[in-house]
């Protein structure tokens, strides 16, 4: 646990997953959603958590990280 907290401070929230991508964004297609698109935060910095409010952009710029939201899309 102690090692993980050191990695987060030194390299951002994502130390190794899909680092070649500008932002790690995943989509899930579902058939029943009230809204056509819902974005869930995966950077833990959203002011509207668990929903994404775009705060990951500032986090990525300041840390060099590449985190992005999980997108739920209505089919
Ligand atoms: Fe956290 Fe967008 S604000 S992923």
Q: Per-residue pLDDT tens for 47-75?
A: 999 999 999 999 999 999 999 999 999 88
Question: 29 Cβ partners below 8 Å, 6+ apart?
Answer: 73, 75
pLDDT grade for 1, boundaries at 50, 70 and 90 = very low
DSSP H or E stretch at residue 9: helix 2-11
24 lines ligand 1 (CB under 6 A): no
Domain contains 18: no
Number of domains making up the chain: 1
- CA dihedral over 23, 40, 53, 36, signed as positive or negative: positive
ipTM of the prediction greater than 0.90, yes or no: yes
CATH of the domain at 27: 3.40.5.90
Contact status, residue 67 vs residue 59, Cβ threshold 8 Å: yes
Provide the domain limits for residue 34.
2-13+23-74
Name the residue of 13, 23, 41 whose CB sits within 8 Å of the most ligand 1 atoms, as the mutation to test its pocket.
41
| Distance (Å, whole) CA 41 – CA 31 | 21
């Amino acid at each position: 646990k102690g090692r993980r907290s050191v990695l987060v401070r030194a390299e951002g929230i994502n130390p190794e997953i899909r680092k070649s991508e500008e932002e790690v964004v995943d989509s899930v297609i579902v058939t029943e959603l009230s809204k056509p698109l819902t974005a869930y935060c995966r950077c833990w910095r959203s002011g509207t958590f668990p929903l994404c409010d775009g705060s990951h952009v500032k986090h990525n710029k300041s840390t060099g990280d590449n985190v992005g939201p999980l997108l739920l899309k209505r089919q």
